[in-house]
Amino acid sequence: MKSKPDIYHEKQSKQLCALHTLNNLFQKPEMFTKTLLDDLCIQLTPNSWINPHRSVFGLGNYDVNVVMAAIQLMDCEMVWWDKRRRITPHDVNSAIGLILNLPSPSRVGSLLFPFRTKHWLAIRQFDSVYYNLDSKLSAPESIGDIQQLIEHLTRHLNEDNCELFLVNSTKPCTLAVAELM
């Protein structure tokens, strides 16, 4: 029986799920920091007193523009998946990883608010098994093989307000494959 791979996994802090998603996706602790993501927010909207790309309270809650800009720093691109299309193994196999943005209950401690926010999470393959690297989980959770992944993603995409993004390398193919090994 194969042993479970050594997977880096950051856990949720404040509203920093985008930050944790990026570090979990690229498997590098502190590759991205709150300071870096805040700087990206300012670069995206430099002359705004209230920045539309993050929480006004400075707790995180970064939008898709910040996540896309951060991914570009890694010579990658984030491609939105049109959920009207059926997902195939070919679509997923070429991606470095996947990012889901899905509705999440809004709460502070045990206090639950009547509105929902959005939550970022990464999915990545290790030794031919796909793992959910959601920062709200205590540890990475095995999803299974490619068919189980497609079923998992399809279930989520059938929910309202769930979005899927494929993360692909923008480097030449042979260099990107060599770096993953």
Tell me, yes or no, whether 153 lies in a domain: yes
Strands, E assignment, the chain: 76-80, 97-108, 111-126, 129-132, 141-144, 163-169
The residue to which tokens 């949720």 are assigned: 12
Q: What is the pLDDT of residue 62?
A: 84
In a domain, 151, yes or no: yes
Question: For this structure, is 134 an active site residue?
Answer: yes
| Structure tokens that stand for 31 in this block | 């590759």
- Residue 94, in any domain of the structure: yes
Is the residue at 98 inside a domain?
Answer: yes
177 assigned to some structural domain:
no
**Range(s) of the domain holding residue 75:** 16-169
173 flagged as catalytic? no
The answer to whether residue 129 sits within a structural domain is yes
Q: What is the pLDDT of residues 95-150, one digit of tens each?
A: 999 999 988 766 566 666 665 678 999 999 999 999 999 999 999 999 999 999 99
Would residue 41 show up in a list of annotated catalytic residues for this protein? no
Residue 165 counted as domain residue: yes
Closest CA to 96 of 7, 16, 171: 171
Please pick, among 9, 20, 119, 152, the residue that the annotation labels catalytic: 119
Q: Which of 53, 76, 134, 152 is catalytic?
A: 134
- Kindly state the percentage of the chain with pLDDT values over 70: 83
Please state, as a whole number, how many other Cβ atoms lie within 10 Å of the Cβ of residue 77. 15
Which DSSP symbol is given to 2?
P
Total domains in the chain come to 1
Q: What is the CATH number of the domain that holds 30?
A: 3.90.70.40
Q: What is the pTM of this model?
A: 0.85
Question: Could you tell me if residue 174 is inside a domain?
Answer: no
**Residue 100 structure tokens:** 């889901």
DSSP 60: B
Q: Residue 116: what pLDDT?
A: 61
SS3 state at 9? coil
Instruction: Copy the structure tokens of residue 79.
Output: 């491609």
Confidence class for position 58, pLDDT limits 50, 70, 90: low
Exactly one of 17, 41, 76, 152 is catalytic; name it: 17
